[in-house]
Amino acid sequence: MQREIEAGEGAFSRIFLELTAGLRRWALRTEVWQRGKWRGAVLSASGVDVGTLIGAADVREIIENVIARNVGLIKDVSQQAQGRITDAVFRGLNQRLPARDVAREIRQAVDMSQRRAMGIASHQLSDISNRLADERRREGGLDTWMWIHSAKKHPRAEHLARNGKEYTDETASTDRPGSLPFCGCRSRAVLVSV
C-alpha cells in the first residue's frame, strides 16, 4: 500500500513538472500574442509601427511573476488532491470498502482538482492579458484607459457601471479590470490628444 501511495506521489510530481513547463510556454505565447495585438492597435491608431521598439524583455518581470504565482496555485491544487486521495485510500482500508468505492472517490478528487485548475487557468489568462496590456500602455506613455465591461451574464454591478468610463492608474479603483475572479472586464488604452 505504501508503495502505491509513493507511486501516486511520484506521478503527481511528474505532472507538476510538466504543468510548470507548460505554464511557461503558455505565458510566453500569451505575451507574443498580446504584443502583436498591441502593435496592431498602435499601428491602426497612429500609423506608427512599434514592432521593433517593444519586445518580451520589457515585460519579463510580469511574466516571471505570473509563472511563479501559477506554480504556487497548481501546487496547492495538487497537494489538496493528493491529500484527498490518501484519505480515500486509508478510509477504504480501515472500513474495508470495495475497491470501486475507493476508485470513485479518487476520481472525484481528480475531477475536483481539474475543475479548480480550469477555473484558475481561465482567470489567470485574463489576468496576464490585462497586466501585459497595462504595461504596454504605460510603456507607450499613455495614462488614460477605458473600462470595457466583460458583457457576461451575471456582471458585478459596479463593473457594469464603469463600462466606457475613462480612468488613469491614479483615478481608478484598486480592483482593476480582470483582477477579480471571473471578472472578464478589460481595459483599453485611450489616445488623448494634447
CB of 41 to Zn ion, least distance (A): 21
SS3 158: helix
Which of 183, 186, 187, 189 is the binder for Zn ion (CB under 5 A)? Answer: 183
Q: Judged by CB under 5 A, which stretch of 61-69, 88-96, 108-116, 182-190 contacts Zn ion?
A: 182-190
The footprint of Zn ion on residues 68-127 (CB under 5 A) is none
Phi then psi for residue 116, to 5 deg, are -65, -40
Amino acid at the residue 89: V
Could you give the CA distance from residue 78 to residue 188 in angstroms, rounded to a whole number? 36
Q: How many CB atoms lie within 10 A of CB 143?
A: 14
CB of 110 to Zn ion, least distance (A): 31
How far from the centroid of its chain's Cα atoms is residue 2's Cα? Answer: 35
CB of 162 to Zn ion, least distance (A): 8
Residue nearer to Zn ion on the CB measure, 79 or 173: 173
26-55 footprint of Zn ion as x/- string (CB under 5 A):
------------------------------
Residue nearer to Zn ion on the CB measure, 59 or 185: 185
Could you give the C-alpha distances from 70 to 22, 45, 128, 153, 168, in angstroms and in order? 11, 34, 11, 27, 28
In 47-98, alpha helices (H): 60-94
Residue nearer to Zn ion on the CB measure, 97 or 160: 160
The footprint of Zn ion on residues 138-177 (CB under 5 A) is 159
Q: Which three cell numbers stand for residue 34?
A: 498580446
Q: How many CB atoms lie within 10 A of CB 162?
A: 20
Could you give the CA distance from residue 26 to residue 68 in angstroms, rounded to a whole number? 13
Position 185 contacts Zn ion (CB under 5 A): yes
Q: Give the binding-site size for Zn ion (rule: CB under 5 A).
A: 3
CB of 171 to Zn ion, least distance (A): 17
Residue nearer to Zn ion on the CB measure, 92 or 184: 184
By CB under 5 A, name the binding residues for Zn ion: 159, 183, 185
